[in-house]
Structure 1
Amino acid sequence: MQIKQTAMAGTLESSDIQIMLSQGEKGITFDLTSDVKKQFGDAIKKTIQDVLASYQIDDVMVKVVDKGALTPVIKARAITVVQRAMDQKDQPNWEVL
């Protein structure tokens, strides 16, 4: 599936994460900013990649600013931003949830 528009979800508050998706050209590219990138950067990317895979999105640019979010928060924000980017705000994909 394709990203229809640039979208963002999340805040820059403590214990949250902000994810922005925009159209990509060759695969999934990440720009990750996090104080805990060294310890948890791979886990953050994997959580977001799993959500993207469940929506069959493979060409996207992902910009992430993490402020110490836990995995369920990362997943919720990723699902939200994907639905916004695909313009499916009122039609959630229940199988993904």
Structure 2
Amino acid sequence: MSIHYKFKSAIDYDTITFDGLHISVADLKKAIVYQKKLGKATDFDLMITNAQTNEVYTDESALIAKNTSLIVARVPVAGATNKKFWDRGEPSLIGTSSASSSSSSKGVCT
């Protein structure tokens, strides 16, 4: 599945491909930063807006459905000395593997 996005100043849309029917806002932001090679530590955050409904996604855990078109804008991080760190790892995969490892260790113990 995929989501189409563009920065406010861009003309054409880019595509992020993912597994499943939804992607979280946090995972989407990480994927955009990685795809656009914006760096690991930045002094901005990304504001995600639905292109059709103009809904701004402020909750990092909100889910965005497949085939959605989005507008992305860079916004400054609150505080002059704060930086936003983007981890390239897939948090959903890391969370799943740790959950499965804990369940597999339960299976070994019983």
**Same-fold call, TM > 0.5?**
no
Larger helix proportion of the pair: 1
TM-score, normalization: structure 1? 0.29
Larger strand proportion of the pair: 2
Larger Rg: 2
